[in-house]
Chain A
Amino acid sequence: DADVTQTPRNRITKTGKRIMLECSQTKGHDRMYWYRQDPGLGLRLIYYSFDVKDINKGEISDGYSVSRQAQAKFSLSLESAIPNQTALYFCATSDLRTGGDTGELFFGEGSRLTVL
């Protein structure tokens, strides 16, 4: 089983719908991240969380919200999806204890979202 699991892997939805992407990890890491990948734009950070009670905005947080329900779970919500949120979304984790402060990330397999 994957250490970082994202659900759903693929989702097609319509403009205005609320969408939740979920991420769970079995690595025991304290830090979790949501990224968005678009062709030609690389990876952009949406939100990150260094602890259950710690939520931080990334580069492109507008239109998104997150919830860190437990150390192992970090969900990303699109309250009212729009077509330019069509992208590949990645959850990632890192751990201060084992990775030191060097920032090595462990990624999920991605969630492909299409907003029509």
Chain B
Amino acid sequence: AQSVAQPEDQVNVAEGNPLTVKCTYSVSGNPYLFWYVQYPNRGLQFLLKYITGDNLVKGSYGFEAEFNKSQTSFHLKKPSALVSDSALYFCAVRDPPGTGNNRKLIWGLGTSLAVNP
């Protein structure tokens, strides 16, 4: 069955340090992978996606994510964290068109990122 895991409920990092928010998935084939961010009292916003091509994907606000097929991971990274990056981050996966149940996203449970000044 399709699944997405975000193994850390919370990540704490000091401002200026690099950050990583982890995501692993269990989907057959070549899935589409996404990261979304939810700031306090706001809706979710799309950050970046991996469909195909270069394993390193760059997105909004200086974030990037690396697709690792052998480890079935899609970790979100940023070289230098800002206090304003503090938010809830969601990983999501979807089957590619023509396979399985590709109409819906499968969501991780979210990771709360706290960047301390």
Q: Which residues of A are in contact with B by a Cβ distance under 8 Å?
A: 4, 40-45, 48, 50, 56, 58, 90, 92, 101-110
Contacts and interface: CB of A to CB of B under 8 A. Distances in A.
Contacts of B57: none
Contacts of A103: 32, 34, 94, 105
A109 B43 CA distance: 4
Nearest to A109: B43
B49 interface: yes
A73 B32 CA distance: 27
Contacts of A42: 90, 107-110
Contact of B43 (A45, A48, A107): A107
Contacts of A41: 109
B97 A101 contact: yes
13 contacts: A41-B109, A42-B90, A42-B108, A43-B107, A48-B104, A92-B44, A102-B94, A103-B34, A103-B94, A104-B34, A104-B49, A105-B44, A110-B41
B51 interface: yes
B46 A105 contact: yes
B43 A108 contact: yes
Interface string B28-49: 0000101010000111111001
User: Max chain B CB contacts within 10 Å: which of A40, A44, A102, A109?
Assistant: A102
Nearest to A110: B43
A26 to B, nearest CB: 15
Rank and list the top 5 A-B pairs by shortest CB-CB distance, nearest first. A107-B43, A42-B109, A107-B44, A43-B107, A101-B97
Nearest to B95: A103
Contacts of B36: 105
Contacts of B94: 102-103
A105 B36 CA distance: 9
